[in-house]
Amino acid sequence: MAGAGISTPSGIPDFRSPGSGLYHNLQRYDLPYAEAIFDMDFFHQNPNPFFALAKELYPGKYRPNMTHYFVRLLHKKSQLLRMYTQNIDGLERLAGIPPQMLVEAHGTFATATCTVCWSKYDGEKLRPDVMSGRVPKCSTCKGVVKPDIVFFGEELPPYFLKYLTDFPLADLLIVMGTSLEVEPFASLADAARGSVTRLLINRDLVGPFAWRRRPHDVVQLGDVVDGVRALVDALGWTREVEALVAAGAEKAAAKTEE
Ligand code: APR
């Protein structure tokens, strides 16, 4: 289970860290309250703040970090059952984690939907408008096209229900970089069986790790990359994960030269 805290090492602000979190830096968007940026009613009145954020977060600007490549290595070693992420930065796909191994619970910029006629769009089609600050319009009905990011009050994607079979099967749950403040995602932490170890790698104690600790829970507080590095060292996987990080950086450099 992951949240915005796994992407801060890549340079993307999280939502709630005091001072640096996105919700503390939205003044320039002139919002009635921070979460309005993900509120459908507000979006229909004024889509500009969301699209200004989309321009900031649109895939391509940031690179995955060791945390993302660690999950890719878990998959490579057939140890990954699924990665549940709240993040919309797309860094999991960019790190090479196959989409079928991902549940992007709060949606993705990879696809978009017209808010009037429900026509589907590839996220890349919206890039020119988003990058030049224009609100993307549907080619069929001229309605506003919204990336498939889950707004507050909206249904989570149907594949979120995979948790009903994934969590009872899991024999280890790793929770990284999330405040576990947003439902229903946060409650997944309690969906693991009681006998299963739950490992929190996070700057601070959150959710059940703070107030409903289980006997097998393990907590590694501090920076997420430091925590992942300690785990990877203990597993003897340091060389392999560093090779993935280096290959990812090389691919990014080659792409920039294109
Ligand atoms: N190392 C370790 N922990 C970190 C780091 C880091 N480098 N950076 C941030 N964190 C921790 C923060 O201390 C916090 O506990 O990660 C957590 C991030 O919490 P939030 O900012 O609340 O992000 P997240 O949990 O993903 O928010 C959930 O809220 O608004 C919605 O849809 C939005 O998906 C988002 C959801």
pLDDT tens-digit readout, 126-185: 999 999 999 999 999 999 999 999 998 888 999 999 999 999 999 999 999 999 999 999
Ligand 1, atom 4, lies closest to the CA of: 5
Closest Cα partner for 102 from 46, 49, 150, 160? Answer: 160
Q: What pLDDT is attached to residue 14?
A: 85
Q: What's the pLDDT tens digit per position in 56-105?
A: 888 888 999 999 999 999 999 999 999 999 999 999 999 999 999 999 99
Ligand 1 centre to CA of 130 (Å) is 25
Atom of ligand 1 nearest to the CA of 14: 21
Around ligand 1, the residues with Cβ closer than 6 Å are 3-5, 8-9, 14-17, 21, 86, 106, 177-179, 181-182, 202-204, 206, 223-224
Is this prediction's pTM over 0.85?
yes
Atom of ligand 1 nearest to the CA of 22: 21
